[in-house]
Every structure is written in C-alpha cells, then in structure tokens.
C-alpha cells in the first residue's frame, strides 16, 4: 500500500506514544515531510549500547547518536578530532594525553568531561567486562591506567605499544562515549536507552519495526540537516525496493545486483563504493563440540569442493570480487602471495569419501548483510549444491540474525558464514579476530599459537614493510590450516530517492547522516 509522505511519517511515529511523552511525539508529527528521512534496511539493530554490539545494523544507527574521542575523515580511515580536540604521545609510545572539547553535553544534559571518559574506559577493562563486550579488548584491552589530569584533560597509559590505538578509539564499537548517568541509571546497559553526545538523539524503538531519532538541538557542532531519522526494518529485499520505488522510504541498503536495474528504471540513484570488507565461510573447530570440521583434512577437502570464482560471479554479478585472503586489498598487510586451497572437485569427492564425511550441518542467517547482498540462505544453498556434487549431503538451518549469533555459540554445527567490514583500516582489526578466545569474534574457535604470537608481535610494531610481512605470514597460516574460507570482497551498495543529497556509506560500512538532506 502506498502512503503519502505525511501519512507515512505519522505511521512511523505511532509507536512513540507508547514510550515517550505525547508532547514530544506531537512536535515530531507536526514537521514537514522533508524533515523526516526514512532509511529501510534488512535487520533490527541488536542494540543501542556501542559497548555491547558488534553488528552493522546497530552501528549505522549508533554512529548518529554517539561520538568517540577521535573520528574518521568522511571518505577514509584517516583520523581527525572529535570529542578530543588534540592529543600528545609520550616518547615511549605508551601514554596518550587528550585535551577534550569543552562545553559538550550528553543528551541527558550531563557534561562530557575527563571523568566521563574514564568511566567509559574503566567499564570495559578486563576486570569489569561483561558478556557481549566483544570489542572491548580490541579498543581498551591494553590500557593499564586512565588518569584524570583536570576536567578536560585525560591521560591513557598502555601496557605495551599498540600501533592502531588511535584508529581504534575512532571506531563506533566500544570507543564511543556514553553518559555515565545513563549507564548508572540503567544498570550498565543502555541497549534500549541510548545516550550519547552526537547530532541525533533517541526517541523510540518499536522492535522489529523501526528506530526513531530526532535532531539534537543542543549539539556542540553544526546541527544535523534533517530533523528526524527513521531507521525502518524491512527484511525482504523486494519489499525494500518496492517501498523505495513508490516513495514510501527514502534510502535502502542490503540490495544486490539483481535489483539494481529495477531501481534505476524507477528513477532512483545507486550508491556504490569499494569497501573494506571480506565475506567468509568458517568451520566449527570448537574442541568442546563434536563437529567433523575439527579435522583439518576435512576442512581442506570441503574447500576443494567449492568453486569460489564461479559462485561469486553467479551470486553477485560482478559487484563482488573473489577473495583469496581475509584482508581486502586496501588494507596494508594484504598479500597476493597467499594462496587458498584450489578448487578440485574430483579430489574433493575422493578425499571426503575417504574421510567418511557423508553429512554436514550448515548454519546461516536470513536476510542480506552489508558483506552478503544476496542473503545467507541463498549463499548456504549454493555451498550445499557444491557439497552434494562432491557426494556430501547437508542440512541448511536458517535463523534470524540475532538468533544466528547465539546459535553459533551454543549449538553443534559444521559450517557457518560471517563477514567483517574493517573498522579502522588496520590489518589487526581483521586478523585479530582469529586470535581471540571470544566466540563472538573467533566464530569457529580456531586456535594456532604461532598465529597468535605473530599477531601479538605485529600489534606493537610501527607501520611499514616489516609489520606487513608479519601479517603476510599470518595470512599464510590461515590458508594452510584452512581456518576459514575467504569468499568475496563486496562493494558497498545502497539506493536512494532522487531528492536525497549527500548520502554516502563510509568505507567502514556506517551511515553518518549529519549532512544528509531531503528536498
């Protein structure tokens, strides 16, 4: 059903009355249609606390609510000031002293200052971490001490040199600053009560339907150019395309090559850019579970059964390129010398039979992801067909995203799918996943001590050829062990109505909406 812009916005805000003051909802309803920007995507966010989520659907909303000490430039991972105006680094490379921006307030009216920075970091240090703080160790794991020098100066001392540290604290997971008052009020969890310093503040979350933000009129910088942001959840790609073409929504993501002609024909615009993303298949090697993929020989035989270039071309129609390693080409440390297991269907069939592999369980997710535009079920069924040709039957189990994330931790299965969009432009951000004991990051719980030692040493080395060589060696270990099977490097895709200006998806995969205009 088609709605006028005004009626659509009224429907979008209907849930507000249940969770916020009637006066606030009425004020939002009174605004003009061009003040209400509607962004439709595949999945609900997992939550709105950036310390407790690691998914793009949460990140693309949170990056408009929260800010970090530093930020990335609009089209790169070069860092720039944000809540910190400047910083210095000690001669030994261990102490970072930040001068904070003055006059900044959280959305609840409390001041942003050095004590707030310390509160946010200490909350995520190892002794205070709680489950689902999957990025805490990436960002703050090397912190030895946080010292408040004065109201607007804070010193962070590390246990060891950490080359990507400044880039890590510009990320939108773990690094953003949350109101200490809100964290105390809501029991150290603001998943449903977000409170940052960013250009937009939270109004309502109607789960499974939409998240509504409104402009922060007290923002320390230039205010957001659009009054209200509505992030709508629409799982089916076809439904999102129809809604865009009919003018029911303004922007969509999670599109694939098959729908681009239809979108263009309706007069809408395509956003396409090279991302920093890798899509991969992982094997369950959890020592506590009875999966056949714990056997390296089985993993290598499975890899031989899958024609990755053929599959990538068939599924993604040239918008993805086949991957040979976990690192995208744009990331320093990428090596074209890394050679994954080659496609060899006859060898695969023979080896799988000899190993006694007759059946595999494949877990996947419903809907599209930024790194898999055709959706998890389509991909899993393509893998299932290759395995069948190699004489192996398989069951494909499909779950919604939140359930899938839990199932790959709790259940016994053989094969799963995941992707990683680079958060900071550093190789450790990708490769460090597989040196983790946290199954949220290291999904299959692969373990290799030599690999972990390489990653630990490379983390402390200055950028350059020597550090890149360490990462090349680490990539070769992954390939030899078939710890995972890299599938593709996708382009970032989105689509918008012709009256939308300044929309872009950042290379880190997030959508900063501060400058987006709807005419």
Q: Based on the domain organization, do 325 and 206 belong to the same domain?
A: no
Query: Residue 265 burial (CB < 10 Å; 0-12/13-18/19+)?
Result: exposed
Give pTM, 2 decimals: 0.84
So what's the pLDDT on residue 183?
Answer: 98
Q: Which residues contact 392 (CB under 8 A, 6 or more apart)?
A: 302, 305, 352, 357, 358, 359, 360
Distance CA 298, CA 304 (A): 10
Name which of 270, 314, 238 is nearest 488 in CA terms. 314
Quick one: 276 exposed, middle or buried, by C-beta within 10 A (0-12, 13-18, 19+)?
buried
Q: Are 410 and 284 in contact (CB under 8 A)?
A: no
- Asked if residue 52 lies in contact with residue 186, where contact means CB atoms within 8 angstroms, the answer is no
Q: Which residues contact 203 (CB under 8 A, 6 or more apart)?
A: 16, 20, 24, 25, 28, 212, 213, 214, 228
> Which H helix or E strand runs over 242?
helix 237-245
How many domains does the structure of the chain reveal? 3
Distance (Å, whole) CA 305 – CA 347: 8
Tell me, yes or no, whether 301 and 394 share the same domain: yes
* Token pair listed for 494: 């989105």
Polymer length in residues for the chain = 519
| Strand 143-150 relative to strand 517-518, pairing | unpaired
Asked if 11 and 38 touch (Cβ cutoff 8 Å), the reply is no
* 448 plus 503 within the same structural domain: no
**Domain at 459, CATH number:** 3.10.105.10
Q: Given this model, what pLDDT does residue 125 score?
A: 94
Predicted local confidence at residue 28, as pLDDT: 52
Q: In the prediction, which pLDDT does 484 show? A: 95
The structure tokens listed for 107 are 């959305």
Per-residue pLDDT of the chain (519 residues; tens, 9 = 90+): 343 443 444 444 443 433 443 344 444 544 688 899 999 998 899 999 999 998 999 999 999 999 999 999 998 999 999 999 999 999 999 999 999 999 999 999 999 999 999 999 999 999 999 888 989 998 999 999 999 999 999 999 999 999 999 999 999 999 999 999 999 999 999 999 999 999 999 999 999 999 999 999 999 999 999 999 999 999 999 999 999 999 999 999 989 888 999 999 999 999 998 889 999 999 999 998 989 999 999 999 999 999 999 999 999 998 899 999 999 998 999 999 999 999 999 999 999 999 999 999 999 999 888 899 899 999 999 999 999 999 999 999 999 998 999 999 999 999 999 999 899 999 999 999 999 888 888 889 999 999 999 999 999 999 999 999 999 999 999 999 999 999 999 999 999 999 999 999 999 999 999 999 999
Domain that residue 84 falls in = 67-181
Residue 390 and residue 430 in one domain: yes
Cα radius of gyration (the chain): 23
Residues 312 and 448 both lie in one domain: yes
Do residues 287 and 354 both lie within one domain?
Answer: yes
Residues 395 and 505 in one domain: no
CATH number at residue 96: 3.90.76.10
Cα of first residue to Cα of last residue in the chain, in angstroms, is 23
465 with 325, same domain: the answer is: yes
Q: Which helix (H) or strand (E) covers residue 97, if one does?
A: strand 95-100
Residue at 190 is within a domain: no
Are residues 160 and 107 both part of a single domain? Answer: yes
């Amino acid at each position: 059903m088609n709605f006028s812009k005004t009626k659509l916005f009224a429907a979008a805000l209907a849930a507000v009355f249940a969770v916020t003051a009637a006066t606030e909802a009425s004020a939002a309803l009174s605004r003009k249609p061009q003040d209400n920007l509607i962004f439709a995507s595949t999945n609900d966010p997992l939550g709105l606390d950036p310390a407790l989520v690691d998914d793009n659907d949460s990140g693309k909303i949170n990056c408009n609510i929260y800010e970090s000490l530093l930020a990335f430039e609009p089209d790169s991972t070069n860092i720039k000031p944000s809540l910190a105006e400047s910083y210095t680094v000690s001669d030994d490379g261990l102490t970072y002293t930040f001068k904070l921006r003055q006059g900044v307030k959280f959305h609840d009216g409390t001041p942003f200052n050095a004590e707030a920075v310390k509160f946010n970091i200490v909350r995520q240090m190892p002794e205070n971490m709680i489950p689902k703080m999957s990025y805490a160790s990436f960002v703050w794991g090397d912190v030895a001490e946080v010292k408040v020098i004065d109201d607007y100066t804070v010193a962070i001392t590390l246990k060891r040199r950490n080359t990507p540290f400044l880039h890590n604290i510009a990320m939108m997971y773990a690094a953003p600053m949350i109101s200490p008052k809100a964290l105390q009020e809501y029991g150290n969890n603001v998943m449903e009560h977000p409170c940052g310093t960013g250009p937009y503040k939270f109004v309502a979350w109607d789960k499974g339907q939409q998240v509504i933000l409104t402009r922060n009129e007290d923002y320390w910088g230039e205010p957001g150019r659009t009054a209200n942001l509505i992030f709508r959840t629409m799982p089916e790609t076809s439904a999102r395309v129809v809604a865009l073409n009919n003018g029911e929504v303004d922007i969509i993501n999670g599109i694939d090559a098959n729908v681009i002609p239809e979108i263009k024909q309706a007069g809408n615009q395509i956003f396409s850019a090279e991302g920093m993303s890798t899509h991969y298949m992982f094997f369950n090697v959890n020592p506590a579970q009875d999966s056949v993929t714990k056997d390296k020989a089985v993993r290598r035989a499975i890899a031989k059964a899958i024609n990755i270039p053929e599959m990538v071309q068939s599924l993604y129609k040239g918008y993805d390129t086949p991957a040979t390693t976990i690192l995208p080409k744009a990331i320093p440390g990428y090596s074209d010398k890394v050679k994954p297991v080659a496609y060899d269907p006859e060898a695969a069939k023979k080896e799988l039979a000899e190993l006694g592999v007759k059946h595999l369980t494949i877990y996947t997710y419903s809907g599209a992801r930024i790194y898999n535009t055709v959706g998890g079920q389509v991909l899993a069924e393509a893998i299932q067909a290759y395995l069948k040709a190699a004489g192996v039957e398989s069951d494909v189990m499909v779950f919604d995203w939140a359930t899938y994330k839990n199932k790959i931790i709790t259940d016994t299965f053989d094969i799963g799918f995941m992707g990683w969009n680079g958060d900071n432009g550093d190789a450790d951000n990708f490769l460090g996943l597989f040196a983790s004991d946290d199954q949220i990051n290291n999904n299959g719980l692969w373990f290799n001590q030599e690999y972990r030692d390489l990653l630990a040493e490379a983390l402390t080395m200055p950028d350059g050829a020597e550090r890149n060589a360490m990462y090349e060696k680490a990539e070769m270990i992954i390939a030899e062990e078939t710890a995972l099977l890299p599938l593709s490097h996708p382009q970032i895709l989105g689509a918008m109505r012709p009256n939308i200006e300044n929309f872009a998806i950042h290379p880190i995969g997030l959508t900063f909406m501060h400058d987006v205009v709807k005419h």
